[in-house]
Every structure is written in C-alpha cells, then in structure tokens.
Amino acid sequence: MQPFKYNPNFNTGSFRNRITFLKLASIEDELGQEIGEDWVEFKNAWAIIKTLKGSEYLSSGSERATIISRFIIQYIEGITADMRIDYNGRIFDIIEPPINDDELNKTLTILAKERV
C-alpha cells in the first residue's frame, strides 16, 4: 500500500503575492503604561489572491465599493479572524476564521474584505 502524499491542485509558483498579517497590540510609553492600541506586523507570507465579489452601493450620498477576496497561503499557526492583511498598502479585514484546507496543515484559505 502506498503512503498518502499531499498533492495540491496548484504549485508553489502560484504563491506570488507577498502579504503581511497585522494584529492589534497595546502600545506603551517609556514608563510602561498603556497609551493605546495599534496594528503591528505579525507574519509575512506568500499568497494566491482571488477576487470573489465586488459590489458598489450608495451610502450617505456617495458611492462606495466592497471587494471580497480569497487568500490562500502555506499553513501558518496563529492566524485568526481578528487580524488584518496588508497587501501593497491595501488593508483587508479577515471576515471569518481561516480554513485549514482538508485539515492537513498544508494551506489556509482566508476570506477578507478590503477597507475602501
């Protein structure tokens, strides 16, 4: 019997977009007192990015856009839904918990909405 070997439907050359995961962290002054929160870098990763949905709507008399994208990355421990993604200065809010594809700890699929 042959041992199971993972063979994804895409090759590693498809992971060509560099993204940065950001997490909210407490900021302290020089005395160690908390003075607020800010988004700080958590991890960098190479990703496949696919736009899933784009829509426009009117809000307060101006036109707005919503763009939802799917990011596929190599598996990284600790990515959560309360993080953000920075892709070339564009910020995406993760909108649901990352999916461990086929529970194999090989890739994560992340749905995110761009902040426009």
Looking at per-residue pLDDT, the higher value among 21 and 31 belongs to 21
Q: Phi/psi at 76 (nearest 5 deg)?
A: -130, 130
Residue 61 lies in a domain: yes
Q: Is the pLDDT of residue 34 over 90?
A: no
In which band, very low, low, confident or very high, does the pLDDT at 2 lie, cut at 50, 70 and 90? Answer: very low
What pTM does this model have? Answer: 0.78
Coil/strand/helix, residue 105: coil
Residue 25 lies in a domain: yes
**50-81 tens-digit pLDDT:** 988 766 554 555 556 688 999 999 999 999 99
| Domain total of the chain | 1
CATH of the domain at 55: 2.40.10.270
Looking at per-residue pLDDT, the higher value among 68 and 9 belongs to 68
Q: Is the pLDDT of residue 31 over 90?
A: no
CA distance 21 to 10: 22
CA distance 44 to 73: 10
Neighbours of 36 (CB within 10 A): 8
Range of the domain at 85: 16-114
